[in-house]
Amino acid sequence: MSNQAENINLSQGPGNASSKDPKALVMNVIQRAKQIITAPAASWEIIKAEPTTVKDIYQNYLMILAVVPALCGFIAMTVIGISIPFVGTWHAPFFGTLVSQVIQYAVSLVMVYVAALVIEQLAPKFEAKTDKVSAFKLVGYSMTPAWVAGLFALLPGPFMMLAGLAGGIYSIYVFLVGVQPMTSVPSSRKVGYVAVSALIIIVLAIILNFMVALFMPRPDMGMRNPQMLQNEQLKQFEESMKALQKAMPNAPQ
């Protein structure tokens, strides 16, 4: 069984892995993530040719990989704690943090699907050709570096933030590399397609963070007026929605 897991080839992607062998499935996810990070161009050619479905990619790749930032974030907040200058180390409450991380995990998976729908709908406006599965592959697998960077949530604050930023930037690069093979967008329209898609996805991520923040324990919650916090969060949400409206191209007449 060990040799079989170690010899999993990327030609058998996560979408085709057997869910009856959890060890082999996890090894396959690790292999795929490693390949996407180290050789994104070659990975997209393999991914493009794989027969799979949205459900398979969710079950055999995304739902496993998305556990990394959620679990590491939970450990960092409750076990390691957050260092607050002149105060000390604050440990988030167990139950409240667990709830917030489960919500973050679920909403991040939903965001992948929504972002894929946006990319699919934008395709004709930029002379690109894609379908739901291809758009979902593009968004879902592009999230790999950002989610793997969730491992660094276990490091001290500055290193965690730098690693998170690097993971996000590299995810954008992986997305950029994958746009051509996954959507057949003309070279002259590629930059515009990527820019608009990335802007919309970023705004969706801001909305995601807003939703998670509503349930995230904070060390200052006991010191601030709840109504004031609610007003601030509502203002941030309204600003995110305005940005999303501006990012969306005009609907066809």
pLDDT score recorded for residue 241: 57
pLDDT score recorded for residue 248: 58
Interatomic CA distance for residues 193 and 159, integer angstroms: 32
Distance, C-alpha 119 to centroid of its chain: 15
Contact yes or no for 38/63 (Cβ under 8 A): no
pLDDT score recorded for residue 238: 58
pLDDT score recorded for residue 199: 84
pLDDT score recorded for residue 78: 80
pLDDT score recorded for residue 96: 78
Interatomic CA distance for residues 138 and 108, integer angstroms: 15
pLDDT in tens, the chain (253 residues): 334 333 334 445 655 554 567 888 889 999 999 999 999 999 999 999 999 999 999 999 999 999 998 888 888 778 876 666 665 666 777 887 788 888 889 988 998 999 999 899 999 999 898 899 999 999 999 999 999 998 887 777 677 788 888 988 999 899 999 999 999 999 889 888 888 887 877 787 787 777 767 666 656 544 344 444 445 545 555 565 566 566 656 544 3
End-to-end, the C-alpha distance of the chain in Å comes to 58
pLDDT score recorded for residue 227: 46
Position of tokens 């499935």? 25
Interatomic CA distance for residues 1 and 18, integer angstroms: 13
pLDDT score recorded for residue 237: 53
Q: Which H or E element spans position 171?
A: helix 157-183
Buried/exposed code over 174-213 (b: 16+ C-beta within 10 A; e: otherwise): bbebbbbbbbebeeeebeebbebbbebbbbbbbbbebbbe
pLDDT score recorded for residue 60: 93
Q: What are phi and psi of 82, to 5 degrees?
A: -110, 125
β-partners of residue 89 are 83
pLDDT score recorded for residue 159: 76
